[in-house]
Amino acid sequence: MLSEIIQKLRKSRGMSQVELAKKLGVTKQAVSNWENNNILPSIDMLVRIAKFFSVSTDYLLELNQTHYIEVEGLSQEEIVHVQQLINDIRERNPLPKL
């Protein structure tokens, strides 16, 4: 559910509802309502949430489980290092074969 995904992403960043609300320019009550499945964020807000957490809107809506890493501001060399870390982790923890 979208409510659980937003909460999980927020907690993974060690953020409170108040902190997330400030980052998104909404009230703490709005974040609380999303996480308690009382209301859904608008389409525009869904896009802002996705950008903030570096995930796709499809991920938020459980249509795709792909994650993205924001590399803006990094040099090409730094991006290569980040990709190598990801590759090393994948080699140690291979995905199960279907």
- Model confidence over 5-24: pLDDT tens digits? 999 999 999 999 999 999 99
Is 33:27 a contact under the CB 8 Å cutoff?
A: no
> Would 97 be classed as within a structural domain?
no
What is the domain-level CATH number for residue 51?
A: 1.10.260.40
For the stretch 47-96, pLDDT in tens is 999 999 988 899 899 887 766 777 889 899 999 999 899 889 888 887 66
pTM score over 0.95: no
Distance CA 43, CA 40 (A): 9
pLDDT value of residue 98: 54
pLDDT value of residue 5: 94
Q: Which helix (H) or strand (E) holds 74?
A: none
How many domains are contained in the chain?
A: 1
> Would 81 be classed as within a structural domain?
no
> Would 32 be classed as within a structural domain?
yes
> Would 82 be classed as within a structural domain?
no
- Which residue carries 């389409």 as its tokens? 43
For the stretch 75-89, pLDDT in tens is 999 999 998 998 898
pLDDT value of residue 56: 87
Range of the domain at 8: 2-60
